[in-house]
Amino acid sequence: NALHDEQVGGNRDAVAALRSFMEKEGLSIEFSNGGGVDDESFLDACPLEAFAAVKSDLLSVFILAHQDATDPEFKTVSDINKLGKGKLEEAKANVRKKIKVAYDCRRNPNILLNNTDYDALAATTSIEAITEDVGMNQDTLQSLRDDDANLPHLRLCSEEIAEGYCSHEGDYFPGSSEELGWLGHFAKKSTRLQNLILVGSDIFKNCSKYSVDRFFEDLGRCNHIKNMQISTDLEVVAKLGPAMKNNDITDFIAEGSYMGCSEVDSLFKTLGEIQSLEKLIMKGAFGGDGSLGGYIPSLAACTGMRILKLKDMGIRTHSCAALRSILPRMDALLELDLGGNSINDNCVEDLVSGLAECNNLLSLRLISNWLFDDGFDMLIQGLPASVSLLNVSDNQIALARQLPLLKFKELYLPGNKICSGGPQVIAASLANPECRLEYLYLSQCNIGDEETATLADGLRNNQRLIRMSLEDNNITQEGLNAFSSIL
């Protein structure tokens, strides 16, 4: 309160600036208990955003930082004062610990206003003065400062992860806004930083909103980052756009960041502007099939895509139709993984059509979808000859009719409840001299001793198969004995 009286109460110019800002923005104040328009009443009821906007009251900026860090309910100075003396001191102590500014803002307000001249201070500021963490934080800052070529990555993580798992150079949990400012400065200057990882929630819980925004601005000025991997809060994902565009990203991985429509839309638009993108992995982002079908065409410009994985995203009819339109442009595509979606037999027709010209495609994974024999047949008949690996584990494939399993080198069928005649279909392909199968996976496929004997018979003249997996079936020693004469 003394600081409030000293810096604001007696500062008529500051009051005038605040009144001018409120008038310009068309903002009004409701005074409680019939309060008037005197300076004291005005200051108590004036929104904290106004103090910050005119930069006239450092205490209020301090309170605004406190608001970002701990309590979103603080709107005015009066709200702070209502805490009572004990609570107010506790809140101040908490913020002092978290953002390391407290009343030092009188001496160095740039900490709060993000105006620190890091270039001027770098020569005289030691790593030990920036962070108290004598382990990973100091090591990471030192490596960034030295532009160390051996720095494997910059991995920003939550406090929980830092305490449990982070122990390697390159890991960092920001302990304050000031630390984050230095981290962004060194990252911006680095010519060797190529890998950026963000993992865990509340990574920036000790940092003000202003310092977080500045940090991502600094990342946007670094043009050497090639790989990004994120598994963190939605608001963090939304800030990555400039850093992604300015760094010619080749690999982008987003797993565990469950995004809504607006976040997915923004992310796909950004990805569509990165023509250097070669690897995209997304898992768990949910926008619904209809919405996602509208986002996917943004990837049409990514003609150099080599690995595309869109997993657990609700992909079905609309999304597959959208993929059909962009896949022909990705003639460098090597791997496609659409596991954990809702792709059915009707969707497969679109996928096969889109992949027909992807003559470099080596593998297709459609694990845990809704494929039946018809869809499996379309894949067998329609995929490019270049595809050597097909994984359709955990679908509804029964092999209830004759299907040629000849063209793939690796075929994964685990988790499909193959019918009693299914092993005969497999055996017929294994006995065919044109069969290319080298690895065949049939775990959890409802295979018993009789079916095992059928498979063994199909292998008698097969010279190509290297491995067959029959784990977790209904096979006894009798079934195993069927292989003894051919192995």
Which of 143-147, 324-328, 391-395 shows the lowest mean pLDDT across its residues? 143-147
How many other C-beta atoms are found inside a 10 Å radius of the C-beta of residue 93? 11
Token readout for 374 is 């018809």
Look at residues 119, 98, 200 and name the one whose alpha carbon lies nearest to residue 159: 200
321: Cβ–Cβ under 8 A, 6 or more apart, which residues? 293, 350
| Mean pLDDT across 87-111 | 46
Which residue did the predictor score with more confidence, 288 or 194?
194
Categorize the per-residue pLDDT at 391 as very low, low, confident or very high, splitting at 50, 70 and 90: very high
3-state SS class at 232 = coil
Which residue did the predictor score with more confidence, 95 or 350?
350
Distance from C-alpha of 207 to C-alpha of 446, rounded to nearest angstrom: 55
**Side-chain-facing half-sphere of 412: CA atoms under 13 Å:** 16
How many other C-beta atoms are found inside a 10 Å radius of the C-beta of residue 149? 8
What's the pLDDT at 258?
60
Token readout for 207 is 């940092």
Categorize the per-residue pLDDT at 259 as very low, low, confident or very high, splitting at 50, 70 and 90: low
Strand pairing of 195-199 and 154-157? parallel
| Mean pLDDT across 188-211 | 88
On the question of pLDDT at 93 being above 70, the answer is no
Distance from C-alpha of 188 to C-alpha of 322, rounded to nearest angstrom: 37
Which residue did the predictor score with more confidence, 389 or 87?
389
On the question of pLDDT at 70 being above 50, the answer is no
Token readout for 377 is 């047949």
Pure H helices in 239-310: 241-246, 261-272, 289-295
| Mean pLDDT across 376-404 | 97
What's the pLDDT at 118?
82
What's the pLDDT at 94?
53
| DSSP assignment of 378-430 | HHHHHS-TT--EEE--SS-----S-----S-SEEE-TT----TTHHHHHHHHH
Which of 2-6, 233-237, 405-409 shows the lowest mean pLDDT across its residues? 2-6
CB 263 within 8 A of CB 235: no
